[in-house]
Amino acid sequence: MSTAYECDVIVVGAGTSGCYAAATAADAGLDVVVLERKTADEAGHIACGDALKGADAFPDIIPRSQLEPAFTNTGVDHGRFEIPQEDTVLDIPVPGELAVIDRLEFGKRLIGAATDAGASFKYDTVVQDVLQADDHTVTGVRATHNNTVRTYKSDIVIDGAGALSILQDKAEFSSTSFDTNVTYSQFCSAYREIVEVPEPVEWDDALVFKPTERAAGYLWYFPRTETTINAGLGFQMTEEPMNLVEDLARDLRTRPEFEGATVTDKLGAALPTRRPYDSAVAPGFMAVGDAAGHVNPTTGGGIAGAAFSGRYAGEQAVSAISSGDVGEASLWEYNERVMDRFGTRYAGLDVYNILSTSIEVDNLMGLLAALPGEKLAEALYSGTTSFGVGLILKTIRNSFGYWGEILNFYRTKNLADEVMTQYNDYPSRPSGLDGWQATRNDIMDNIYDVTGADPKYWEDRQEWNDLAACSRWTRLRFDLDCFLNFHLVEFWDNLTQFWIKLVNKLFGLLSRDCSLTWRFNKILLFKHAKRVANFMMRIACFVRHFHNPDRFTIYYHSKHLQMTLKHIHFFLKSVYHVIC
């Protein structure tokens, strides 16, 4: 059985961005329907650190007074970074108004405000497909409710369905500017527990952060009140989640303030730790909030970006529908406003996220301990920072042993500034996007060279498009079964394992030397050996899946082969310096 509905705007997802978009469009008189997969009781219950920054400047379509009852702690004013590797605690000021919220109460109040504005909510409704016209203009969605298929048709669909949205998997966007450069490596998993402690904590005025033990991630302890703590962790999706959840459990057991504590709620989610989408519009379609990468990639904070992107999408929907044109060019101003408000800053911050993936956890913590707190705050929240001569000298003195990382940080900071300058020149029309991306991608190549990080994006989009436009033979896509056969895969796997065993053996033979020179060269040995193994395993994956053109290209993986050879070269040079 199928039921059809028609309206002006469909919003998928009743999160922050969806509610702000719905409230904005409905307040302007449009017929807005919000489709939410959760029940009415569960809607608004979202995995979140509960920290809210800059609420005093949120869009006024939802009055602050309507949200304030959800603000449970307005006394927090700084971040507290615990660095056990350095036996250091850093107190870092956080600019702007800061609060910790009850996220469920906050979500309910957002839904209530959008309802008051005139939006209609359909709960327990799961979107399963996207409807498109022959020219690929999005015209609605297909969803299920209580085993009943429902078709919702509209002039515009706003995707607020969160990270890795199903709508973007279902829609055909290849002929549009919509950013499809999305992979799991650009996302983070988050898990949090609400913990009640018997006695007030001493740090109820701080957001507490701490690195995880075994991976690039962090633990957090955010005080909703002096006895109700949001305790959680964030980690890249490439890591083993259960191992990291155990890190959180172990840390909770060792902290005396959590002795006798009880857990009242548990929840997990995915969130983007990447730059905002280059374009979040397609004919009849806009993506907002997490669904468009509107999250601070260094802190994971996404409520502010979601609020503003929702407002901008709602206003753009009103403008486009009133003009009778919902094409890509008619929606393009939404992209410009996002980049102007926070997109440029988040793109700069993404550069620091890339840097963090290339530094060992201990070295990263040493770098954080060496940098002035106020400069860290600038880098974490504004995307750039500056150092005077005196501060540079002081930092050099305090950072002995981490000068290489400091130099990399300085070079990365300059490249982050270049990225932000490029984003300030974001194109005013879709036709300018390719040229703008090409310049940005050149800067990104320099960033990977300086940081040594693995490429985070399919940077060479134009080369990929050129390849996709060529014939099957020009693209050189091979059927592995017919051309290479299993033996090459087996050979490369054995070669990779041999390399890892060789490196471990070499480290064992050389471990007796404990001089400063050796420690420095050991770092280089480990750094380059690890990267060789990393790229070799990537190439092993490549030869297994070479026949799949949607995921792999000769161009992309030839870069991995080049990087493997480069780091083998550096590794052998390091071995020479240690031995000789």
Quick one: average pLDDT of 508-522? 47
pLDDT in tens, 220-265: 999 999 999 999 998 877 666 556 778 888 899 999 999 999 999 9
Sign of CA dihedral 467, 472, 473, 478: positive
Quick one: average pLDDT of 516-536? 51
What is the number of other CB atoms lying within 10 angstroms of the CB of residue 541? 16
pLDDT in tens, 409-458: 778 889 999 999 999 999 999 999 999 999 999 999 899 888 888 888 86
N- to C-terminal Cα separation, the chain = 78
What is the number of other CB atoms lying within 10 angstroms of the CB of residue 186? 21
pLDDT in tens, 376-422: 544 544 555 555 555 555 555 555 455 566 677 778 889 999 999 99
**CA 452 to CA 120: how far, in whole Å?**
50
What is the number of other CB atoms lying within 10 angstroms of the CB of residue 203? 19
Are the CB atoms for 94 and 377 separated by under 8 Å?
yes
What is the three-class DSSP state of 168? Answer: helix
Are the CB atoms for 201 and 257 separated by under 8 Å?
yes
Residue 494: band (very low, low, confident or very high) from pLDDT cuts 50, 70, 90: low
Give whichever of 408-417, 532-541, 563-572 has the largest mean pLDDT.
408-417
pLDDT in tens, 462-472: 444 444 444 33
CA distances from 505 to 15, 360, 501, 508, 536 (A): 52, 21, 6, 5, 18
- Predicted TM-score (pTM) of the model is 0.76
Sign of CA dihedral 161, 165, 167, 171: positive
CA distances from 193 to 15, 60, 185, 207, 236 (A): 20, 31, 24, 15, 19
**CA 212 to CA 369: how far, in whole Å?**
16
Quick one: average pLDDT of 74-96? 81
Q: What is the secondary structure of 476-526 as a DSSP string?
A: T---HHHHT-HHHHHHHHHHHHHHHHHHHHHHHHHTT--SHHHHHHHHHHH
Distance of CA 140 to the CA centre of its chain: 27
CA distances from 495 to 489, 490, 504 (A): 10, 9, 14
**CB-neighbour burial class of residue 85 (10 A; exposed 0-12, middle 13-18, buried 19+):** middle
Confidence check: pLDDT of 176 > 70: yes
Mean of per-residue pLDDT scores for the chain? 79
Structure tokens at 152: 């919702």
What is the number of other CB atoms lying within 10 angstroms of the CB of residue 199? 12
| Continuous segment of H or E residues that includes residue 548 | none
Confidence check: pLDDT of 16 > 90: yes
Residue 557: band (very low, low, confident or very high) from pLDDT cuts 50, 70, 90: very low
Residue 86: band (very low, low, confident or very high) from pLDDT cuts 50, 70, 90: low
Of 292 and 410, which is predicted with more confidence? 292
Distance of CA 301 to the CA centre of its chain: 10
Side chain identity at residue 567, one-letter code: H
pLDDT score at 474: 37
DSSP 445: H
Distance of CA 7 to the CA centre of its chain: 32
pLDDT score at 444: 93
Task: Look at 98-107, 256-265, 413-422, 536-545 and tell me which has the smallest mean pLDDT.
Answer: 536-545
pLDDT score at 516: 41
Domains of the chain: 2-72+99-177+278-334 (3.50.50.60), 347-466 (no CATH), 470-579 (no CATH)
What is the three-class DSSP state of 310? Answer: helix
User: Which segments of 7-108 are extended strands (E)?
Assistant: 9-12, 32-35, 51-53, 71-73, 78-83, 88-93, 98-101
